[in-house]
Amino acid sequence: MKLSRTVEYAVQAVLQLAQHDEKGTPVPCSHLASEGMMPERFLLQILRGLVTHGILSSTRGVDGGYALKRDPREISLLELIEAVDGPLKPGPTTSAGMPEVTQKAIADALSEVTKTLRRQLGAIKLTSLMTPPAKNGDGHEVHG
């Protein structure tokens, strides 16, 4: 499975917000874009979609920006993918030269694969994708 560029940017931005979330302050789109080397206008569209799907909250104004709406332990990779690209579902299997019984068998098999994929992606939470904080030689966290 290959993630679309849009999903990759969404995951990257949400992970950045999860790392910043400890401070509890909204992060401007411009900061996320520059830190993650993403095009700002494109990222802004993605972030707005994530707000619509209840993954992020947005705050207007000088001190505005985006923040996670829920704990990163509650947000799954499946949720992010579907918020950006729509529901995961098997594609059509119709082929003019294929017997109907074969088409049904393929459709059933793809449906099972999709169910398994949804379950596995649903089990992957943001926290499992986050980079652990760097440690110095004494084992203490290094804050950049």
Nearest by Cα to 35 from 15, 64, 59: 15
> Angle CA(90)–CA(56)–CA(38) in degrees, nearest 5?
80
In the chain the domains, ranked by start, together with CATH numbers, are: 5-129 (1.10.10.10)
Per residue in 35-66, pLDDT (tens digit) is: 999 999 999 999 999 999 999 999 998 888 99
pLDDT confidence band for 140 (50 / 70 / 90) = low
Q: What is the rounded distance in angstroms from the CA atom of residue 68 to the CA atom of residue 22?
A: 10
SS3 content of the chain, % helix, strand, coil (to 5): 55, 10, 35
Cα distance between residue 43 and residue 32, in whole Å? 8
Instruction: Give 20-30 pLDDT, tens digit per residue.
Output: 755 668 999 99
| pLDDT exceeds 50 at position 143 | no
Alpha-carbon distance values, 19 to 22, 26, 43, 81, 89 (Å)? 7, 12, 18, 20, 31
Q: Is pTM beyond 0.85 here?
A: no
Q: What is the pLDDT of residue 23?
A: 60
